[in-house]
Amino acid sequence: EETTGAHDEL
């Protein structure tokens, strides 16, 4: 699983 930022936030 890649670690990415909170892309579901605006």
Partner 1 sequence: MNLFRLFGDLSHLASIFILLQKIQSTRSCRGISFKTQALYATVFITRYLDLFYEWVSLYNFTMKVFFIASSCYILYLMKYKYRPTHDPSIDTFRVEYLLGPCVVLALLFHYKFSIPELLWSFSIFLEAVAILPQLFMLQRTGEAETITTHYLAALGAYRALYIPNWIYRYFTEDMVDPIAVTAGLVQTALYLDFFYVYFTKVLQGQKFELPA
Q: How many residues bind partner 1 (CB under 8 A)?
A: 9
Asked whether position 1 contacts partner 1 by CB under 8 A, the answer is no
Spatial distance between the Cα atoms of 2 and 8, rounded to a whole number of angstroms: 15
Give me the least distance between CB of 4 and partner 1, in Å please: 5
Asked whether position 5 contacts partner 1 by CB under 8 A, the answer is yes
Give me the least distance between CB of 1 and partner 1, in Å please: 12
- Residue type (1 letter), 3: T
Burial of 1-10, coded b for 16+ CB within 10 Å and e otherwise, reads eeeeeeeeee
Residues that bind partner 1 (CB under 8 A): 2-10
